[in-house]
Chains A and B, each alone.
Chain A
Amino acid sequence: MLDFWVVCAAYAAVASLSPTQEGIEMADGTGPGRITLSGIVFGLSMLVLIVVSLYYFIGQPYWFPALTSTHGGQIDQVFGAVLLVTGIAFIVVQGMLGYFVARYGSQGTERAAYWHDNPKAEAILLIGTAVILTVLVFMGQRVWANIYFADRPANALVIEVVGQQFSWNFRYAGADGQFGKIDPKFISGTDAFGLDPSDPTGKDDIISTNEVHVINGRPALFRLRSNDVIHSFFLPNARVKQDAVPGMQIDIWYTPDTQNSERNAFEVACAELCGLAHYRMRGFMTVDPNEGELDKWFKEIKQ
């Protein structure tokens, strides 16, 4: 913690020891200015900023949670592409700013260069930026389209999700493959879905609170709703995030893939402030290796 402050103080000390150097004054002001304490400290600050950033973004002592989905790799790749472009821009711009500030100091008498327009350079920079950003838009949108404009998988495991203050509720169709009818008037402290007791297809529905199972390699389709306020269904490892909005039913799907992870149990988070106990709206996801394990869990619930 104190490192940064110590380093900053050290800069000031080093810079104050170095003698003030007089640069060569040129008529057009393009020659170097004077070496000033403030300029040097600022320049070195930018250098430290760049080096520390490189360490954290390339060394990655902290990084994304372990990836557990097939589509998540593409999201991480888009992040990486944007990181490359913005990282270069960051280093160039902060570096130039630091260099200029260190180089073009004055002690109150010298004159600066008098130039203030360069249409050619401006046009090149403007068009260059626009081209780079356009490339990023298309790269990102290819991934966005792969995730959102794809056909829904036929063999998906369908799971209804209902957010409520402050728990995640999950429902599976059960053996008959059909979800029973629901109605808000049947919602109770033990049933966030409001299963209609007169509907036989609902008898075998599997309902679980804060615990959800999916199968490795089989697409899972989540049908999101909310009983009260907006929640956000966040699977940090799977790179899945979707708000659960009251009055709406939103389908999202992804394919679990745990080959990059030693574990098969992960957390489900709420990412949208939903009230006083928002921070406790936490669920658990288990990625089962096969259908048999899932059925075992269903049986445990039914008992």
Chain B
Amino acid sequence: MGMHDKHATEHAHHELGFVRKYIFSTDHKVIGVQYLITAMAMAIVGGVLSMLMRLQLAFPSQMLPSMGSIMPDAFAGGIMKPEFYASLVTMHGTIMVFFLFTAVLTGGFGNFLIPLQIGARDMAFPFLNALSYWIFLLSCIVIFAALFVAGGGPLGGWTSYAPLSAVEAFGPGQGLGMTLWITAIALFTASGLMGGLNYVTTILTMRTKGMSMMRLPLTQWSLLITAILGLLAFPVLLAAGILLIFDRTGGTSFFVPAGLITADMKLVQHAGGHPLLWQHLFWFFGHPEVYIVILPAMGMASDILSTFCRKPIFSYRMMVYSMAAIAILSFIVWGHHMFVSGMSPFLGSVFTLTTLLIAVPSAVKTFNWLGTVWGARIRFTAAGLFAIGFVSLFVSGGLSGIFLGTSAADIQLQDTYFVVAHFHLVMAIAPLFAAFGGLYYWFPKMFGRFMNETLGKIHFWLSFVGVYCVFFPMHIIGIGGQMRRLYDPTQYDFLKSQQGVNVFISISAFILFAAQFIFLANFLFSIFAGRRVTEKNPWHATTLEWTVPSPTGHGNFGEELPTVYRWPFDFSLPGAKEDFVPQDVAPVAATGRK
């Protein structure tokens, strides 16, 4: 460590040119911000796609001549084509799950925060870190291109079930579009593995003096556990993707059985494969992936919540243990996505049991957040509000998971909007709120300026009411039976009576989406013209990133690395002069937890 410190300190004094400093940088902070901004660009793409979907769902197959002139290929005669709708479904899901949430939470916040919060000068492998970002950027370009190729984007959903994904003849987007999808996912996986190796190594080996594991901020615990999940889950997806490529181009039959017929009555030349194999491989990755998104959100929300409650997080130990329990259990619940897939119903019983087991540590975390707010002295900043909003949304989204995890109830609810409502709230909107909280909170450390608080609060309230107006009614139409990924629900008589709810959801979604531009304008404007940060620790927080200048240079810390004396939650410590005691303050008068 000593050698490394010295080397890195020298590095800090070495002036780099613009390109090395801000573009091909190996500084974890620059890479983190690159991830954040790239993922935000992808979020805009994914968001626009969802707005097009909501347009079609509220006003199915109506003439929209203006859309027809903007996108003549997608709107035949001004009416959205069904295959375009299916490709929207696929691309929205893929972009949001991988290229927004996974990237922003682990790539963005992970990179930015890990060395700063554990007291290290950079990641263990800075070059690998930079390489991880550039491969991620490449994968973004490839997935974006899939929207514009001949035949359009792939139309099998983000889950890309075989044989729809394995045989080109089964749909217009299943040729080049699907190939690009697999390529992008493979690149993303490679990038994620590089990042994951880095995070695990850095957190385990580069913590500063005194930073024991049980003194890590919960953000760090969540990132460590997430990185381990990623290292175990992503290779399975990569392997599945490679097998799928073999099926598509190499004449193998991993996922395609014999005797399939195309629309023009030609026999498909495959034999011996099994479609459920893809589902098992995909969900063996896919369910841990859900936690790859939600765990960092939990960690960040916990730290931000505690900071603005001015109160220690309730039951730090249980927070750590429950995250670990969730991570382990996340590998044995994947079958709850497959209750009616044709998998043995005996397995359905087993997966119901494991799925409801995983609800226990999730409930523990909820109780602990409530315990943190109880008796707090809340400072209502935009960041704090988003952390509180996270808790409410996680609870709403989590509880509906119990219906879906109960196999008997899932028979009716599987593949309906009830599922859409559940996973959006719990693994998209709740993490989105944590990410917004994180952006408002760490923005001063990233750019040396504040985001505008008033705009931040307006953004919070519009978003909070907006997401409930969009996603809560989806439970209702899901109970009514509306299938997900459905181009036109009014085709079915039994769904016609609830079409008004679809209109309500769509209008709410348009308002919600528009409100995000308040954030975007605030973010971009504040980078250049926000109120300057004059102190190292504007939020009166306790973790190590707040002991360095805002922003801090390459190498993060000054001549000497900080020494840690306490856990990260000494807020309102009795006897202490201030209502917070940073981790690097030695215990003299103030005691608190070690």
Contacts and interface: CB of A to CB of B under 8 A. Distances in A.
Given A62-B480, A100-B370, A144 B342 contact: no
A75 B363 contact: no
Nearest to B477: A62
Contacts of B276: 245, 248
Given A45-B464, A133-B360, A188 B164 contact: no
A229 B164 contact: yes
B366 A93 contact: yes
Contact of A8 (B81, B315, B402, B461): B461
A8 B446 CA distance: 33
Given A86-B402, A104-B373, A105-B380, A273 B593 contact: no
Contact of A185 (B267, B378, B481): B267
A130 interface: yes
A116 interface: yes
Interface string A248-261: 10100000000000
Nearest to B349: A141
A111 B494 contact: no
Interface in B531-583: 569, 571-574, 579
A129 B469 CA distance: 29
Contact of B415 (A86, A232, A280): A232
B157 interface: yes
B508 A90 contact: no
A278 to B, nearest CB: 7
B123 interface: no
B388 A42 contact: yes
Contacts of A164: 261
Given A86-B402, A276-B155, A63 B480 contact: yes
Contacts of B395: 90, 93-94, 97
A125 interface: yes
Interface string A144-156: 1101110000000
Interface stretch (B2-10, B435-443, B485-493): B485-493
B480 A65 contact: yes
A276 B415 contact: no
B92 interface: no
Nearest to A123: B318
B468 interface: yes
On chain B, which size bracket covers the interface? Answer: 35 or more
Contacts of B370: 93, 96-97, 100
Nearest to B381: A38
B311 interface: yes
Contacts of B400: 86
B22 interface: no
A193 B507 CA distance: 45
Contacts of A42: 385, 388
A206 interface: no
A218 interface: no
B345 A241 contact: no
Interface of A: 1, 4-5, 8, 12, 29-30, 33, 36, 38-39, 41-42, 45-46, 49, 52-53, 56, 62-65, 74-75, 78-79, 82-83, 85-86, 89-90, 93-94, 96-97, 100-101, 104-106, 108, 110-118, 121-122, 125-126, 129-130, 133-134, 136-137, 140-141, 143-145, 147-149, 164-165, 184-185, 187-189, 227-230, 232, 234, 236-237, 239-243, 245-248, 250, 266-267, 269-280, 282
18 contacts: A1-B508, A36-B378, A62-B476, A75-B411, A79-B412, A96-B370, A105-B378, A112-B376, A114-B573, A125-B363, A136-B402, A140-B407, A148-B348, A185-B267, A229-B161, A245-B341, A245-B342, A279-B489
Q: Which 8 A-B pairs have the closest CB atoms?
A: A247-B257, A106-B377, A113-B375, A148-B345, A38-B380, A276-B83, A112-B311, A116-B312
Given A29-B572, A42-B385, A114-B571, 14 more contacts: A4-B465, A42-B388, A49-B468, A53-B472, A106-B376, A144-B345, A232-B340, A232-B414, A241-B412, A247-B274, A270-B483, A275-B164, A278-B487, A279-B82
